Amino acid sequence: MSNLIESIKTRRTHYALAKKSPVSNERVIELVEQAVLHTPTAFNSQNGRVVVLLAGHHNKVWQFAYDALKAIVPADQFPATSAKIDAFAGAYGTVLFFEDMATVKALQDQFPLYAGNFPIWSQQANGMLQSNVWVALSESGLGASLQHYSELIENQIRQEWEIPADWKLVAQMPFGQPLAEPSAKDFAPVESRVKVFA
């Protein structure tokens, strides 16, 4: 089996992460940059945007999430929520994924026949970007998970790091050195998910 398939297979969700990295910050940034450059996009729109947060910047994004959730989660349910956020904050860094909606809008204006499809294609490309970054981090010995607190923390993120108004926050990926093996994963029979006609 190809190395790529093996890399895809070993990419798993890791929630228990240490504030350590087996590779340098420079290597993490290089992996992210290469994924951004080489992930395909519809009409070569290149609409994916990424912010890498390390050290105190990483801590800050999860403090935003903690504060936002504390304001809306009932007190008796908050300990479980707090534990999840603490686990993300305990990681080494976070990758924030955005879509540049100005690029999407420009393509809608340029190609009105496909206007309704560009937001969908943009989301699909962002999903591929997230997967590519995740696999690249995993290959380097880093664990990660994908989180979606966007609506709760987007405004604070935009203000804190001067994110352009046209960038829409899509997902957050805390990463770090894995502290445990991922849990077992069940698979539906592949025959029920793939049809072949030859």
The tens digit of pLDDT for each residue in 116-150 reads 999 999 999 999 999 999 999 999 999 999 999 99
Q: Where are the beta strands (DSSP E) in 106-165?
A: 143-144
Taking 3-state DSSP, the helix, strand and coil percentages for the chain, each rounded to the nearest 5, stand at: 55, 15, 30
The whole-angstrom separation of Cα 140 and Cα 93 is 14
Average pLDDT, the chain: 95
Residue 1 reports pLDDT greater than 60: no
> What's the average model confidence in pLDDT over 3-22?
93
Asked: is 3-192 a CATH 3.40.109.10 domain? The reply is yes
How far is 28 from 21, CA to CA, in rounded Å?
9
Q: What is the pTM of this model?
A: 0.95
CB atoms within 10 A of CB 10: 11
How far apart are alpha carbons 163 and 154 in whole angstroms?
Answer: 9
